[in-house]
Amino acid sequence: MKANRTSINKSASALVAALASLLLTSPAYAEFRHGLSAFGDLKYPADFKHFDYVNPDAPKGGRLSTIGTSGAKTFDSFNNFILKGDAAQGLDYLFDSLMTRANDERDAVYGLVAGSAEVAPDGKSVTFKLRPEARFADGSPVTADDVVFSFDTLKAKGHPRFGLALRDVVKAEARDPGTVRYTFTGALTRDLPLTVAQLPILSKAYYSAHPFDQTSLEPPLGSGPYAIADFKPGTYITLKRRPDYWGKDLPVNVGRFNFDELRYDYFRDRTIELENLFSGNVGLREEFTSLDWATAYSNVPAVKDGRIQRATLPDERPSGAQGFFINTRREQFKDPRVREALDLAFDFEWSNKNLFYNLYTRTQSYFENSPMKASGPPSPEELRLLEPFRDKLAPEVFANPYVPSVTDASGRNRDSLRRAKELLTAAGYGGPEAGGKTLNVEILIFEDGFERIIGPYINNLKKIGVNATLRLVDASQYERRMKAYDFDLAVERYSLPLTPGVEVKAYWGSDAAKMDGSFNLAGIQDPVVDALIDRIVEAKSRDELVTACRALDRVLRAGHYWVPQWYKAVHNLAFWNRYAWPQVAPKFDDGIVDTWWYDNAKAAKLSNN
């Protein structure tokens, strides 16, 4: 089971790509190029025709109806650029950016609205040349003024994550209607050219007549491949492919966006989601619940006769950090011994055996399923980063990284609970009988499917004297409380990019801890963490980046800021057999909306059954 929050925008939550100083000093980047990548290499040449993972001849048409993967249960806004409101899914497809990702490379972007870009040799600016044919959905041209307006507006009025990511972008200026230049400050400019390249482009004219900083259910004007066609608040939203989309024949778009319609349905719980899949009301669903994946499909007629297909797709991205995040803004969680005790009380092995059908692996690292995960003693390169802070770090940082305790899955994890009790007592939370206080813990969730997992965890917490309770709230209240950090422990999941950069400040940086709506759920405020984040952002090669990430991983794991849960490096999909996909899958994406298509022949067979 995964826990996912409503995404504010891929462009917002994933202002993630990085540009190394190798690029900034290379003569090759003192000229306009068709793409940018973090460490200098581009897979695709300037004259490439399409990405390797698409079918350039894929037919257009049909509908993809899905529930999506954000975990959202409702929506009340089409503005996914601000902190307020619960934004609908699929809104990313309404807005273009200057450049767009290649999903078979770790961090490369190629020209979309901008046909080319030039990074200054000193790394202090980047200039983009816009395609004159770029248009908004109303036919008006996309100009440098729109790009400048978008930057100014997102930085000043957008979700706080925009302001954090764009802090060192001094200004954007229109050199002429087709040229825009961004100027940077400070030493950590590596990420910024790619960050601004992926910002959504807003229409200056449209938002001059419509308030940007308010929630709204008026379909906004964009320039992307889809537009909002129909919706019912909190129930569904349908996007329709724009046949007049200006960029449909660009190399970065050939073979993509093949469905005429994308429909996202919203349901109260996972059981109702399944019922709607089995009845045919929903065409595709990603399964996040191990119990359902193991048992719910076996006796369904449409599954038995092949009308509903099941597939497991590999996921080569970092698996993300899912767990019970501990809010250190609250006094009772400031002592790391308390936080470690909470971790020791969670018996993953019992849960995996009895609840998950052994489908999951325990998460250990914030960089799980990636080379950035720390293991074994620190390397000499890691030690060079950590030694200056030895007097500020726990001794375990300089040994093997912290890993959660492993039990025999019997449910009798006495050793772990005994150690947890000792830690609580030493921290002054041994209970009145030990001359201490009682630790009160409320676990906040919005999905009742987690109750079967949290119930045994609460029982273990009570065994060590913790007054633990569960609070189930609706999705909207959950989102509001998370944005305001109004929780003790909460179940959340976030994923890091393949090339971490400036966005990690939003996950673990001290500034983000004080910013409503950031991903720094635990409230981490540690100057050592901040310093190591800077080393990630300023890395000059992938080797340096990996080393800095591993060093940071050691420090974070030693801080016990969460109770890590589990992961699986695959996508489990169930779908009606009316879709097709390319022979080559994108290495770092599931490719469903981007590269799949509606297969009329398969759909006809379903209709004849």
Q: pLDDT at residue 71 above 70?
A: no
Q: Do the Cβ atoms of 478 and 6 come closer than 8 Å?
A: no
3-state secondary structure 191-226: CHHHHHHCCECCCHHHHHHCCCCCCCCCCCCCCCCE
Q: pLDDT at residue 189 above 80?
A: yes
12-21, 461-470, 507-516: which has the minimum mean pLDDT? 12-21
Task: Give the number of other Cβ atoms within 10 Å of residue 468's Cβ.
Answer: 22
User: Residue 323's beta-bridge partner residues?
Assistant: 492, 564
Residues 513-544 have pLDDT tens digits of 999 888 999 999 999 999 999 999 999 899 99
Q: pLDDT at residue 224 above 80?
A: yes
Q: Where would I find the H helices in 427-541?
A: 451-463, 475-483, 504-508, 510-513, 527-537
Residues 361-399 have pLDDT tens digits of 999 999 999 999 999 999 999 999 999 999 999 999 999
3-state secondary structure 256-271: CCCCCEEEEECCCCHH
Q: Which residue has the higher pLDDT, 188 or 487?
A: 487
Instruction: Name the residue among 608, 219, 530, 562 with its Cα closest to residue 364.
Output: 562
Instruction: Give Cα separations from 217 to 22, 76, 307 (angstroms).
Output: 45, 7, 36
Q: pLDDT at residue 6 above 80?
A: no
Residues 77-89 have pLDDT tens digits of 999 999 999 899 9
Q: Which residue has the higher pLDDT, 383 or 498?
A: 383
Task: Compute the chain's Rg from CA coordinates.
Answer: 24
Give the model's pLDDT for residue 16: 35
Domains of the chain in sequence order? 10-46+79-209 (3.40.190.10), 321-564 (3.10.105.10)
pLDDT band at 9 (very low <50, low <70, confident <90, very high): very low
Percent of the chain with pLDDT over 90: 80
Give the model's pLDDT for residue 268: 82
pLDDT band at 10 (very low <50, low <70, confident <90, very high): very low
Give the model's pLDDT for residue 432: 87
Instruction: Name the residue among 171, 99, 165, 166 with its Cα closest to residue 131.
Output: 99
pLDDT band at 609 (very low <50, low <70, confident <90, very high): low
Residues 6+ apart with CB under 8 A from 150: 199, 200, 201, 202, 204
Amino acid symbol at 218: E
8-22, 54-68, 538-552: which has the minimum mean pLDDT? 8-22
pTM: 0.81
pLDDT band at 15 (very low <50, low <70, confident <90, very high): very low
Percent of the chain with pLDDT over 70: 94
- The pair of three-digit structure tokens given for residue 83, joined into one six-digit string: 């902190």
Residues 127-185 have pLDDT tens digits of 999 999 999 999 999 999 999 999 999 999 999 989 988 999 999 999 999 999 999 99
Q: Hey, which of 13-17, 318-322, 409-413, 550-554 has the most confident mean pLDDT?
A: 550-554
> Mean pLDDT across the stretch 317-328?
91
Q: Which residue has the higher pLDDT, 463 or 26?
A: 463
Residues 99-133 have pLDDT tens digits of 999 999 998 999 999 999 999 998 899 999 999 99
- The pair of three-digit structure tokens given for residue 213, joined into one six-digit string: 């900083």
Q: pLDDT at residue 25 above 50?
A: no
Q: pLDDT at residue 97 above 60?
A: yes
378-382, 420-424, 605-609: which has the minimum mean pLDDT? 605-609
Q: pLDDT at residue 19 above 50?
A: no
Instruction: With H, G, I as helix, E, B as strand and everything else as coil, classify residue 125.
Output: strand
Q: Do the Cβ atoms of 45 and 234 come closer than 8 Å?
A: no
> Mean pLDDT across the stretch 485-500?
91
Q: pLDDT at residue 2 above 70?
A: no
Q: pLDDT at residue 30 above 70?
A: no
Give the model's pLDDT for residue 113: 98
Q: pLDDT at residue 551 above 90?
A: yes
Instruction: Give Cα separations from 115 to 110, 132, 472 (angstroms).
Output: 8, 9, 49
> Mean pLDDT across the stretch 535-562?
96
Where b means 16+ CB within 10 Å and e means fewer, 115-148 reads bbbbbbeebbbbbbbbbeebbbbeeebbbbebbb
Residues 565-588 have pLDDT tens digits of 999 888 899 999 999 999 999 999
